[in-house]
Structure 1
Amino acid sequence: MKKLLISALIAGLPGVAMADAKGDEIAKLKAQLEALQAQMQQLQQAVNAATAAKAPEADDGNAELKQRVAGMEMKVDKLTTDASEGPIAGLSITGYMDPTYVASRVGKSAGFQFVNHSNQYAYTNSTFGDVYLDIKKTFGVGPLAPSAEVSILPNRGSGNNLLTSGGSSSSGNNIINTAIINFPLSDTTQLVAGLMNSFGGYEVQQSNQMNTITHGLLYDFSDPGSYVGAGFNWSHGSWATKFMIANEQFHTNPNSATDSGTHTHSNSTPTVTGRVDYTMTSNLDIGGSMNVGRQSLFVHTDANSKADGTYGYQGTSNSAYGGYYFGEIDATLTGTDSVYNAELDYGRLKQGAWNGGDAVWYGFSLLAHQKWNSEWFGRMGATLRYDYLNDSKNGGGGGGIALSQSNGVDGTNGFGISQACFNSSTVNGTDCSGATRQALTAALLFYPTDQLTLKMEIRHDWANRNVFLRSDGNYRKSNDIFAAQAVYSF
């Protein structure tokens, strides 16, 4: 307002300068200047009064804003406290769903499998087609915070398919897949205890981490399964080590069994298992694992049994258990859009073969996976895997290979002795060799979103014996399957 009045005054001065400089006119000019100064004072007083009148309203607005900010700060503080100290502090729930379609040529079967309850483990019906939940609770923050983690696979996990709580007939109906307590002692060492998957091989159990739909022959039939026990994890620099003392695989408590229907035995010998990994470069890992212990043997009798009521093979001679020895080495090479895996296995189960001798199996697996961006389908990938597993010694058996007690064959998975040899044998097939198995798998993967993966797979399995059971009751040397899967992770 002052600037406006001064500008008006200056604008009028030239006219005054050009007027006649007479005394009365000068007096009039002074009177006008005094009047303008009086008006300026009045305007200044009015401005000051207006500012003073608005101040209380501004203070009221600021007070209300301060109250709202303080309330929001209290809410943030409470959420922060709950996140670090409340019941949900350190709690995470992740998982996936993976409905799967499988068509098998030898069995002339096709259809979707998802959350259907089945405790028969097969390469066409293993850990896929279920809901997976991983629930983890961390008590505190930082590398020294203890944690407890439980994974649930109600229809396809170890609890439903493989775990037993006593005799072999008590398997199934357990939704727990793994349950692990982790207690760090330092930045490099943690104590672990509970139910956990074995350390063997390059393959993982979870469908959302696999580059195929089905597992390889070594994962399904050679590598050890789940263990209940305690041990430690240690890592330093390029080295990482895992060690555990446990029950025999798949047993949630010390096992007892009866051999030949007359003697009861208890397996009190713990299994010792461990793994070592060496990271050679940022993308190359070389590792290996071993297992030593005692393992349950099959017991069976039938009309062709010996006079004492037993076959005298499949471990039924003097004990229900045999010494178990397994070792493997594996390597993983990871690129920006590629993964290459290799694994070599060897296992032995004393008196665990079909004819009562030692079961011996060995094999290898090779896998290559490549991703790329396509113009039509966006992000996609392709996988090729080859598996070889020799289980011929003493008629086969051992490891994850369970042969029929009546005819020495697993017709679903293609292991054991041929029925032609069994029928022509004069000693119930004990002189027959087991099958050597191979499998070639090709998969195509699509990644529409970060959470969704679509997979298609064709797989050809074959053996050097007629061991795949057809729907008409006959056996053949090979089988083909087609599978499709949608995996949604959350």
Structure 2
Amino acid sequence: MIRPTRLALLPVALAVCLAFPTLARAGVNEDILNELKALKSRVAELEKKLETQNAKIAETPQGMTVEQQQDFNRITVKTEALEDSRDALGLKNLKISGYMDPTFIYNQRQDRAGFQFLNRVDTGNGGDGYNYDNSYFGAAVIDFTKETDGGSRWRLTLAPNRGVGSVFDGNSPVHEASVSIPLTDLQTRLVAGQIPDWSGYEYLQPTLNKLITHNLLFDFTLPTAYTGAGLEVTRGKWLTKVMLANVNASKRSEGESAPALAYRVDYAKGEFQGFGFAGVHGKAANFSENLVVNGDVVPQRDSRIDLFELDAYFIRGDWTVQGQWSIGRQAKASIAPDPISGDLRASQWWGLSALAAYKFQPRLEGTVRADYINNRKNGGGLLGYTAADDRNGIGPAAIGVVDADGLPSGGYDDTEHGVARSALTFGLSYLYNLNTTFKFEYRFDHASGPVFLDVKDGSYKKNNQLIGASVLVSF
């Protein structure tokens, strides 16, 4: 705007000179020239100020004023300081999450009703062992995950009294402690540490499960956790995990040196469906106390296990459908020894589980699940369950009532065959808000023979009923 004004003054000055020739000749033109020089100097000064101001505006983002630019600079300095502090404290890419799920359980045959929360699982420390009515629910869990700039991942999950560490290692509050290190690329990783079992369609944590209890295959036919190292490979729609590991043990016992091979393969066929399979082959702890010599129980060394399962899912809109088929065997772990030689035989089983869920409303979902296990051979027996169990309904059918030794007074109907087990479960879940879910469940367990102990009268029944309710809060 200044440049056109400066040029316009030149014609004005010429006009003045032409209009007053007499004065010019008389020497007055010298004063006019001086005034023109002063005016030119002022114009040049204004142009310089304008150029300086334009330069400042050009340096200011999006036309901010000088004061706004100063505030912006202060914010930038503070942000950089916060980032430096975060990195120095190791908080970059650190995520902390967790959940709690106080649970109410009513068990008909156990004549028990009440809340379960943070109760012990380990039988050697005041707990009552792992049972289908005392699984991983009723927990308080906190999870730490960290990823470095190089892509390595670190994870530590703590679940006092309720994690896998409590099940197989007694006092350990560690549920998972694992690392994942990229090798040739981010999709090819070395994994190592203590990792919960990955078999089946159901997850261990209640935040990923629609019901409170787990299916029969989850509770009685799958490993608890692996301690070892292996690979995790992602290629397109395929995800493969394989480990050489101890099964349900953080350290091998004396005289035990053979690890097991554990693997999991998943295929995401599309946006709504996929399938996977998993297996374990190797040696694991054998808890059998059924081999007696001269009145003494002979402890068993780790024995061979061969487990395989296939699962699939379909999730679209309001519907969720999931299913699983499992088969397994453990050497020298049968409930009934050979009737002639007295030697222990293999326990063998196969089973099915299917789940269907439908959302009646965006927040309200109904679920039904059906389970079945056939383990009749050699008196029964499942993974880790090598003796008759009148709480979980495992083993031969009982006769009579419980005696002073805690055994059926009439013995067993057929020690060579275990009962077949089934369960039918109905559940409702209500998403109260983004962090809170209320769950309700009714479960009916059945066996082909009387194997559930009714503690009220000491008799054995073919069925049992369970009612559960929980409030799950996660973050």
Classify the TM-score, shorter chain.
0.7 to 0.9
Q: Provide the residue aligned with 2:236 in structure 1.
A: 237
Q: Provide the residue aligned with 1:121 in structure 2.
A: 130
Q: Provide the residue aligned with 1:277 in structure 2.
A: 266
Kept in 2: contact 1:390–1:437 (CA 8 A): yes
Within the alignment, does 1:382 sit opposite 2:391 as a pair? no
- Rate the CA distance shift 1:145–1:434 in 2: closer, same or farther, 3 A: same
Q: Structure 1: how far apart are the matches of 2:464 and 2:382?
A: 22
For 1:478, the aligned partner's letter is N
Kept in 2: contact 1:461–1:480 (CA 8 A): yes
SS of equivalent residue, structure 1 residue 126: coil
User: What is the aligned-residue RMSD (CA, Å)?
Assistant: 2.7
Counterparts of 1:66-465 in structure 2, within 5 Å, are 66-83=69-86, 86-119=89-122, 120-140=129-149, 144-160=150-166, 162-164=167-169, 172-185=170-183, 186-247=185-246, 249-256=247-254, 266-300=255-289, 305-307=292-294, 309-310=295-296, 316=298, 320-355=301-336, 356-373=344-361, 379-403=363-387, 409-420=388-399, 431-465=415-449
Kept in 2: contact 1:82–1:89 (CA 8 A): no
1:83 shift after superposition? 4.4
Q: Structure 1: how far apart are the matches of 2:203 and 2:72?
A: 50
- Rate the CA distance shift 1:66–1:431 in 2: closer, same or farther, 3 A: closer
| Per-residue CA distance 1:34-93 (angstroms, 9 max, x = gap) | xxxxxxxxxxxxxx9xxxxxx9xxxxxx77655443222211122234445642111111
Q: Structure 2: how far apart are the matches of 1:193 and 1:455?
A: 35
- Rate the CA distance shift 1:66–1:130 in 2: closer, same or farther, 3 A: same
For 1:132, the aligned partner's letter is V
1:423 shift after superposition? 5.6
1:306 shift after superposition? 4.2
Q: Structure 1: how far apart are the matches of 2:376 and 2:290?
A: 23
Residue range with higher mean Cα deviation, 357-366 or 389-398 = 389-398
SS of equivalent residue, structure 1 residue 278: strand
- Rate the CA distance shift 1:272–1:301 in 2: closer, same or farther, 3 A: closer
Kept in 2: contact 1:158–1:226 (CA 8 A): yes
Q: Structure 2: how far apart are the matches of 1:180 and 1:201?
A: 20
- Rate the CA distance shift 1:429–1:379 in 2: closer, same or farther, 3 A: closer
SS of equivalent residue, structure 1 residue 419: coil
1:255 shift after superposition? 2.0
- Rate the CA distance shift 1:287–1:64 in 2: closer, same or farther, 3 A: closer
Within the alignment, does 1:485 sit opposite 2:470 as a pair? yes
Kept in 1: contact 2:308–2:328 (CA 8 A): yes
- Number of equivalences: 395
| Per-residue CA distance 1:90-127 (angstroms, 9 max, x = gap) | 11110111011111111111111112334221111110
For 2:178, the aligned partner's letter is I
Kept in 2: contact 1:381–1:444 (CA 8 A): yes
- Rate the CA distance shift 1:174–1:327 in 2: closer, same or farther, 3 A: same
Kept in 2: contact 1:94–1:133 (CA 8 A): yes
Kept in 1: contact 2:211–2:441 (CA 8 A): yes
SS of equivalent residue, structure 2 residue 227: strand
| Per-residue CA distance 1:439-489 (angstroms, 9 max, x = gap) | 000001111111111110000001012111111322111100110011111
| Per-residue CA distance 1:178-225 (angstroms, 9 max, x = gap) | 111010121321110000012311110111110101000000001122
For 1:361, the aligned partner's letter is W
TM-score scaled by length of structure 2: 0.78
For 2:248, the aligned partner's letter is F
Q: Provide the residue aligned with 1:9 in structure 2.
A: none
For 2:173, the aligned partner's letter is I
Q: Structure 1: how far apart are the matches of 2:130 and 2:288?
A: 20
Kept in 1: contact 2:240–2:264 (CA 8 A): yes
Structure 2: runs of 5 or more not aligned: 1-45, 47-52, 54-64, 123-128, 337-343, 401-407
| Per-residue CA distance 1:268-302 (angstroms, 9 max, x = gap) | 11100111122222211111111100122235379
Kept in 2: contact 1:274–1:289 (CA 8 A): yes
Kept in 1: contact 2:399–2:460 (CA 8 A): no
Q: Structure 1: how far apart are the matches of 2:288 and 2:68?
A: 80
Q: Provide the residue aligned with 1:37 in structure 2.
A: none
Kept in 1: contact 2:328–2:349 (CA 8 A): yes
Kept in 2: contact 1:367–1:383 (CA 8 A): yes
TM-score scaled by length of structure 1: 0.75
Kept in 2: contact 1:366–1:387 (CA 8 A): yes
1:246 shift after superposition? 0.4
| Per-residue CA distance 1:292-343 (angstroms, 9 max, x = gap) | 00122235379xx443x456xxxx59x5232110101110111122211110
Kept in 2: contact 1:84–1:90 (CA 8 A): no
Kept in 1: contact 2:168–2:224 (CA 8 A): no
Q: Provide the residue aligned with 2:42 in structure 1.
A: none
